[in-house]
Amino acid sequence: MVINNDLTELQKNIGYTFKDISFLELALTHSSVVHERMVNKGESNERIEFLGDAVLELVSSEYLYKRFPDYPEGQMTKLRASLVCEPSLANDAKEIKLSDFIILGFGENKSGGRYRDSIVSDAFEAVIGAIFLDGGFEEAKKFILRFVLNDIENKALFHDSKSLLQEFVQNKMKKSVQYKILSETGPDHDKFFVSQVFLDEEPMETGEGRSKKAAEQQAAYKTYLKLKLK
């Protein structure tokens, strides 16, 4: 099932027009469709996602190598991991509204799979693979630079926000960091959480997300920025 089957709109969001639209259709097809229809596994996006993952790793590695000539290997590895991890890619996918176009089996769609980070991030990497197959390395690179390797300082900070906040508060303020879930709404397969940071008993910033972890991470990021700017 798909919310929006107008791939013209998705191509506009991506900034790339496919010569062979079947590559994009394959990239959007989750394995749950294959399982329900009992067809060949090659008709899902698993193989093309594998290819896109390799292209993403190469482009991001080259970019960080050139952008940060003073970074040792370990620091580049950590930064790359924060940029291409599952939650980061799922968040990047929001910019092109990718979730609306993913083709899921009925059961997976009903259980909220369309908004699950693992499914969305895999589809995002599959789109990279599709662009690579259709338009070559340079077109795939343009896509990655535009949607993944942008605003990397903030992305890295967001990824490490909980540990950075913990370290900052312990060293500078000698307080404990706690997270409390303020609200939990929606059915089991499509929960939405609001979390708040507390320094000892002092309430700080709130965050929201489709998992407790995501809500806490956003709250930690906003709190860390607020404290650093004081």
Q: Is 25 found in the same domain as 122?
A: yes
Q: Is 186 found in the same domain as 129?
A: no
- Annotated active-site residue 122? The verdict is no
Q: Is 166 found in the same domain as 125?
A: no
42 pLDDT exceeds 80?
A: no
Per-residue pLDDT reduced to its tens digit, 117-149: 899 999 999 999 999 999 999 999 999 999 999
Among 50-64, 75-89, 213-227, which range has the highest average pLDDT? 50-64
Q: Is 212 found in the same domain as 125?
A: no
Is there a domain that residue 17 lies in?
yes
Token pair recorded at residue 136:
């070559």
- In the prediction, which pLDDT does 2 show? 63
CA angle centred on 190, ends 42 and 107, rounded to 5°: 40
Q: What is the CATH number of the domain that holds 207?
A: 3.30.160.20
Q: Is 171 found in the same domain as 120?
A: no
Is there a domain that residue 78 lies in?
yes
Specify the number of domains making up the chain: 2
Is there a domain that residue 28 lies in?
yes
pLDDT band at 12 (very low <50, low <70, confident <90, very high): very high
Question: Could you say which of 84, 119, 151 is where a domain stops?
Answer: 151
Token pair recorded at residue 82:
């924060």
pLDDT band at 41 (very low <50, low <70, confident <90, very high): low
CA distance 122 to 32: 13
Is there a domain that residue 1 lies in?
no
Q: Is 191 found in the same domain as 146?
A: no
Q: Find the catalytic residue in 49, 92, 125, 134.
A: 125
- 8 Å CB contact between 48 and 28: no
Is there a domain that residue 67 lies in?
yes
Q: Is 141 found in the same domain as 76?
A: yes
Question: Could you say which of 151, 177, 202 is where a domain stops?
Answer: 151
Look up the domain containing 218 and give its range: 161-228
Q: Is 100 found in the same domain as 44?
A: yes
- Annotated active-site residue 53? The verdict is yes
CA distance 110 to 129: 27
Q: Is 214 found in the same domain as 112?
A: no
